[in-house]
């Protein structure tokens, strides 16, 4: 349990934690933050700066990396065409879920 010190959420104080002999907390390395769901899915903020996820990741918004946005890449790919050896041009990809 984390309590906000004097109402400031950026300066929380760990007051305790809940545990059970049947469902013990994972042995989390110092400095890491692990969120684990009873379904087996988890999100881990690791000491090396990476985020690790087990399970489906649904994002409400765009996803970015050092090269740009995933949506921009998808738009470029979806509009990509090739010349056909018989003189035509390939159509836009048939997108299916």
pTM of the predicted structure, to 2 decimals: 0.53
**Digit-coded pLDDT (tens) for 39-74:** 989 999 999 999 999 999 898 999 888 888 988 888
**Digit-coded pLDDT (tens) for 1-48:** 777 877 777 777 777 767 778 877 778 899 999 998 889 899 999 999
Q: Are 55 and 41 in contact (CB under 8 A)?
A: yes
User: Both tokens of residue 67?
Assistant: 């090269």
Burial class (CB in 10 A: 0-12, 13-18, 19+), 10: exposed
């Amino acid at each position: 349990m984390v309590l906000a010190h004097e109402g400031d959420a950026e300066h929380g104080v760990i007051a305790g934690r809940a545990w059970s002999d049947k469902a013990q907390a994972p042995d989390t390395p110092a400095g890491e933050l692990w969120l684990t769901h009873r379904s087996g899915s988890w999100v881990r903020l690791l000491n090396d700066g990476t985020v690790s996820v087990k399970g489906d990741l649904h994002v409400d918004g765009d996803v970015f990396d050092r090269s740009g946005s995933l949506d921009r890449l998808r738009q470029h790919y979806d509009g990509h065409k090739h010349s056909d050896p018989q003189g035509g041009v390939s159509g836009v990809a048939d997108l299916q879920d």
